[in-house]
A and B are shown apart, each in its own frame.
Chain A
Amino acid sequence: MRYELPQPYQELSHTADTGIAAEGATREEALARLVLALGALLAGGGSVTPDVEETVVGAGGADLAQTAVAALREVLFRFATRQVVPGACEVLSLSPGRAELRIAFGRFDPARHREGADVKAVTYHRARFEPVPGGWRAQVILDV
């Protein structure tokens, strides 16, 4: 299923940095919302108009949490090198060690996204991907 910004997510307090967490009825929904939570942070709450769609593969990691980190790292690399922000996301497959996502990216606009966070990295620190009542919850801490 394809999810578009805005989606519900939680911003987590961390002394020097920041974290994001998202829930979904399925693992795939939780990961899609986590990707879009990263998009929302990068865009600083500004709207994103997707204009290019591509398949993103997050490979590696011993468990779902580390694989989610790998997927978000791929998204961040695209942001850092092409200044594109995820505006819609569908998780095509997800298992420990590999995630395949279809992501629609929109261009980062310095004016519209002026409050966007300059995220340096997606860390393994306190990365979680676990069942919760009613579904799944995924979280990562971002170095900003």
Chain B
Amino acid sequence: MKLRRIHDWLWEIPREGGMKVPGRVYSDGPPAPDDPALAQVANVAHLPGIVKWSLAMPDIHWGYGFPIGGVAAVDLERGAISPGGVGYDINCGVRVISTRLEAERVLERRHEVTAELYRTIPTGVGASAAIPRLSPREMDEVLSRGARWGASRGYAAASDDLDHCEEGGCLAGADPSLVSERARQRGADQLGTLGSGNHFLEVDRVAEVYDEAVAAAYGLRPGEVAIQIHSGSRGLGYQVCDEALADLTPQMARYGPDYAALPDPQLACAPIESPAGRRYLGAMQAAANFAWANRQVMTGLAVQALCRSLAAPEGDVGARLLYDVCHNVAKFEEHVVDGQPRRLLVHRKGATRAFGPGDPRVPAAYRAVGQPVLIPGDMGRYSYVLAGTAAAMEETFGSSCHGAGRLLSRHQAMKLARGRSIHRELLDRGIEVISRGKKTLAEEMSDAYKDVARVVGVVASAGLSRRVARLEPMGVIKG
């Protein structure tokens, strides 16, 4: 793989063969040319209608079809929508809930707090029954209304939660009738559940503030407690993606030579305005709403659990949704391209929207400072709250990284953990972790991930986001 240095933090894969645009990779050094994720960046550059670049954030790693950490914006008339550019976990995302609790208060009762969260929010394989199973009518409402459904049922941190979600916690255009019976079956009893793998719920403390003015606007104060949730659309979203890939893969050639020549079947896609494209789009938007409802329900459950475990009234806890971002999604957005405003479909697969100051799509409370960008690390170290920038709007369609990025495969991590107690190691570092099994802890240990500080260092140095605060875990629940 040829690579050309653009500047210290950006490398280009020159356009060649069937690539329609160059690839661009944000990295703090030359990326390893044999990294299979780079080939995926080049593959994505073959997508019909792709605009400017196939982008890779510094947490890029090998996915299927798209790399994880990939961004591709496509033209609405000539462009394709790709389920692989969204991923199986549609609208997987992160939210941070700030509180007015002093960390010391939680530290004293760390075990009780974590245990109560674990009891309240089902985790792991087949996790279900956080709330009563949804009726078909309720499912339609969830798929149409997203986080609004959860908030309307009383699952909320505060009354302004919806103002602090990307897209207000609901994608317009969602069509519940396009979500199959099978997908509904997979999701009907999973609302309010965390899942497993890299999904988590953490009780964090604000360990360091880098930008006091922005942190103040976000409601973050050093030494206070925040809750962080990472989860998505659970089985419903997986099924929507699965069915779309099965639908689109055999049809590719009918859309013309550009589609037939795509280098990887997981890049299966369809013209946005084709019947198959519209079907996937409407179902994907509905699944995205399911994910928002899921995180909203977990927010309400988590705040209740926090209050119970500390015997504290809600007023004392002072919970407030700081922000909710999705990092696996495709959305219609307006961006300035070569000086002209254009409406595009932006795929972010393992990348976070990071709109800068002054953008009308950023909530009014944060508009002067830029959108909160929530970047989880690993369960043994730290996570970051960043702010979007004007540079991100110019260079990456308003996108930034989404996490640490894996360093080791799950298999390698299991080998490295042999003979160790990850639970004990975390306890020794002051972190209470409760998980269903030991395997998850081994697969998700810090050694398996890049240091998120380094990833954040790249996006900060490249100007794609600004550091605002660092969060450190005190209690973690995992699937």
Contacts and interface: CB of A to CB of B under 8 A. Distances in A.
Chains A and B belong together in one complex:
yes
Interface of A: 11-18, 42, 44, 60-62, 66, 70, 73, 77, 80-81, 83, 108, 110, 113-118, 120-126, 141, 143-144
B421 interface: no
B111 to A, nearest CB: 21
B411 A62 contact: no
B409 A121 contact: no
B410 A18 contact: yes
A116 B125 contact: yes
A62 B242 CA distance: 16
A42 B124 CA distance: 12
Given A70-B246, A121-B238, A125-B65, A113 B409 contact: no
A136 B216 CA distance: 62
B410 A77 contact: no
Nearest to B188: A81
B479 interface: yes
A18 B242 contact: no
Contacts, number: 108
A22 B475 CA distance: 40
A108 B266 contact: no
Given A18-B409, A81-B185, A60 B64 contact: no
Interface string B216-253: 00000000000000000001001101100110011000
Interface string B245-267: 11001100000000000001110
Nearest to B126: A83
Nearest to A144: B197
B357 interface: no
Contact of A13 (B241, B265, B411): B411
Given A15-B409, A73-B246, A125-B264, A141 B185 contact: no
Contacts of B268: 124
Contact of A115 (B264, B266, B438): B438
Interface residues of B, number: 42
Nearest to A124: B265
Contacts of B367: none
- Counting from the closest, the 9 A-B pairs by CB-CB distance are A125-B64, A118-B196, A13-B409, A114-B437, A115-B439, A120-B238, A13-B411, A15-B62, A118-B125
Mostly, the A contact residues are loop
B280 interface: no
Contact of A15 (B185, B406, B437): B406
A14 B62 contact: yes
B68 interface: yes
A117 B414 CA distance: 13
B88 A121 contact: yes
B242 A14 contact: no
Nearest to B124: A118
Contact of B250 (A42, A62, A80, A123): A62
Given A80-B235, A80-B238, 20 more contacts: A13-B411, A14-B409, A15-B406, A16-B410, A18-B411, A60-B250, A61-B250, A66-B265, A77-B186, A80-B239, A81-B182, A110-B436, A114-B436, A115-B438, A116-B437, A118-B126, A118-B196, A120-B89, A141-B64, A144-B197
15 contacts: A11-B411, A13-B411, A16-B409, A18-B410, A62-B250, A73-B242, A80-B239, A108-B125, A108-B126, A115-B437, A116-B437, A118-B126, A120-B88, A124-B245, A125-B265
